Structure 1
Amino acid sequence: MEFRQPKIPLPHYTDVDKQRFLQDVYPRRKPAVLKGLDLGVCRSKWTVDYISRTGGGREVKIHVSEVPQMDFIKKNFMYRTLPFDTFVRRAAENKHPDYFISQDEKYYLRSLGEDPRKDIADISKQFPELAADIQIPKFFEEDQFFSSVFRISSPGLQLWTHYDVMDNLLIQVTGKKRVVLYSPRDAPYLYLSGDKSEVLDVDNPDLMKYPLFPKARRYECYLEAGDVLFIPALWFHNTVAEEFGVGVNVFWKHLPSECYDKTDTYGNKDPTAASRAVQILDRALKTLDELPEEYRDFYARRMVLRIQAKAYSSNYE
């Protein structure tokens, strides 16, 4: 039986400045496509030849996958290092005369800080010449800035479904990208492993393995070159590069700085209070193991009811 899931389109906004973003878009806490923003000369200049030449031969760490669907849980890819200009030209190819695994392999760059364990990704520091071409929308205060991640994908590459703990803008400079999103409320249906969903193929999922997945409401959009997607924190997203594409993800801290893990350089570690709560829950569940099965079942159900009452006490979508 063919899997069909209703697709909820995202709202589109044009002529968005900071005031309108903060007034009409941001308070809704839902994803939105922003069109017609002034992103600078990157729109016209960022060809394959220009990017590779301007970025130069500095070495970058990339993902290389034999299949289009990259799975971060099972790690069906390898990490390799290439000069940036070589990587860009390979990523733009459909067939590769030079390759690591096969002529059809896919490439993906998620830029890193100088020391990924300590430094955040910042395009102005890692790729200053290219950063000079792009005008990042100033929809947040300067001291809220967390990172600006340079992303380059082979055509056809699909990235795993995951959430981030910070609000972000996905700026699609070149190429076309499909983005599928799921509300934080639908987390019970996404079979989570940390911040990632085990459901890799959102178009043709294994319903024997993931029977609750059809309950998740699917939001979807296609980003054209020049579009910007606002993704609120905790919204799950899965992307497919319909074409060779170059983009920049900008993350900012919308909560007070002390809420975030100070060791987080990727923007995907749960807030410190959430991490403490999960640790307390783990200890509580371990304590329940001291009881006979009948009592363990009864008190575990009571805990679930209390958590549900807390979780569903708001109208957040």
Structure 2
Amino acid sequence: MNEDKSPLHPAWRQWLAENLALGVSVEDVQQMLVQAGVDPALAREEIAAVGQHPYFKAALQVARHFGWLESLMDVYSELRARDGGRELEVREGVSPEEFFRRYYLGHRPVVLRGLMKDWPALGRWSLPYFRERFGAVEVEVMVGRDANPEHAAEQDRHRARMPFSDFLSKLEAAGETNDFYMVPRNDNWGREGLAPLRDDLRAPAGIIDPSLRPEQLTLLLGPAGTVTPLHHDNMNILLGQVMGRKQVRLVPSFERHRVYPHRGTFSHVDAAKPDLAAHPLFAEASVLEAVLEPGDMVFLPVGWWHWVKALDVSASVTFHHFLVPGGNTHLDAPF
């Protein structure tokens, strides 16, 4: 059968080949096609044709390799679960040596307390403080997020510039919303006007490069209700919660197949209200959870999936230049 002359829409042919290669039964894919309005005879014909196509046979071989990797990750996930891997550790007094041995090199997240005791920011940062010292500074923020479910991946569509005082007024009046946010992808640290804010921070001794150059850290500031959807970063991150509280949910990097990846580093799953009918494997995911209070830090290992929601007007900073060779460990995703 010449697939170019097939009456079945190309998107359905792609869906058919993908699902058969991933092990969905012939009966289930046929039923789905028929329910979508495809004639049963055409559905059977297309399924038979796909099975004979050399491209599909190549895809099937790739899927088998993929399946082996998933199986190995499932075994690893089960072993880690028996070793406390289903709980997010909360620690105080962790030495740099233990941090790197158990968490950085162990690829484990952890909430760290007590590392921000010497931060002037904990006593200073507030909306009035920001307004008094930096109100006239022009900043870049993301706006109109509620109108676009893909706002996190399509950040360039949402950039806006305004005086910091105007942004602070929006924060004061907003209540709970996800419509606007100052995110790490805004270059506000590097702008001269906000540079003095870095003087209110301290690098965790023995863990983070003490120089605190602008390119080594980021600022997040937004209203209660701000949500960062489930995603992962391609390097290790240490996030410090300065003002307000944030709820975090994490899923291990080695459970990637359970979060239904989307656009590489994002997930199709709404971690706040997972649709287990659409994403049944997420029911098997190891979801680790915590509420970060001012003064808490959370280590997010490279590749670990995380969802974050601000419970109050919230200010956070992230560090990504550790005291290791090269400054960090990076995930070089193939595509």
TM range (shorter): 0.5 to 0.7
Contact 1:13 1:33 in 2 (8 A): yes
Superposed CA offset, 1:175-197 (max 9, x none): 00000011011111111121111
More strand by share: 1
Paired residue for 2:138, among 59, 63, 79? 59
Question: Is this contact kept in 1: 2:321–2:328, CA < 8 A?
Answer: no
Specify the alignment match of 1:285 in structure 2. none
> Which of 170, 182, 199 is the equivalent residue of 1:109?
182
Range moving further from structure 2, 17-26 or 249-258: 249-258
SS across alignment from 2:133: helix
* CA deviation vs aligned residue, 1:19-60 (integer Å, no higher than 9, x gap): 342344333211100012234111011011002222232222
Return the TM-score normalized by structure 2. 0.64
Identity value in percent: 24
1:229 equivalenced with 2:298 (yes/no) = yes
What is the rounded CA distance, in whole Å, between the counterparts of 1:89 and 1:11 in structure 2?
37
Structure 1 residues not aligned, in runs of 5+: 1-6, 96-102, 115-120, 261-269, 279-317
The alignment covers a number of residue pairs equal to: 246
- Higher Rg: 2
**Cα-to-partner distance string for 1:268-306 (whole Å, 9 max, x where unaligned):** xx52xx43xx5xxxxxxxxxxxxxxxxxxxxxxxxxxxx
Q: Describe the shift of the 1:184–1:112 C-alpha distance in structure 2 as closer, same or farther (beyond 3 A).
A: closer
Q: Is the 8 A contact 2:177 2:226 kept in 1?
A: no
Please point out which of 177, 189, 196 is paired with 2:266. Answer: 196
Aligned position for 1:131 = 198
Encode CA deviations 1:249-272: one digit per residue, 9 max, x unaligned. 111265748986xxxxxxxxx52x
Which TM-score applies when normalising by structure 1?
0.67
3-state SS in 2 of match to 1:88: helix
The answer to whether the aligner puts 1:34 opposite 2:107 as a matched pair is no
Partner Cα distance (1:126, 1:181) in 2: 34
Describe the SS at the equivalent of 2:103: helix
2:128 to 20, 25, 49: 49
Quote the residue 2:96 is aligned against. Answer: 18
Match for residue 263 of structure 1?
none
Consecutive unaligned residues of structure 2, counting only runs of 5 or more, are: 1-84
3-state secondary structure, aligned to 1:109: coil
Higher helix proportion, which one? 2
Q: Which has the higher contact order (CA 8 A, sep 6+)?
A: 1
The equivalent position to 2:162 in structure 1, one of 75, 82, 89, is 82
- Trace 1:238-257 onto structure 2 (pairs within 5 A): 238-252=307-321, 256=326
Q: CA RMSD in A?
A: 3.4
SS of corresponding position for 1:188: helix
Comparing 212-221 with 136-145, greater Cα deviation is found at 136-145
8 Å CA contact 2:181, 2:223 repeated in 1: yes
The alpha carbon displacement at 1:154 in A equals 0.9
CA distance in 2, matches of 1:87, 1:237: 26
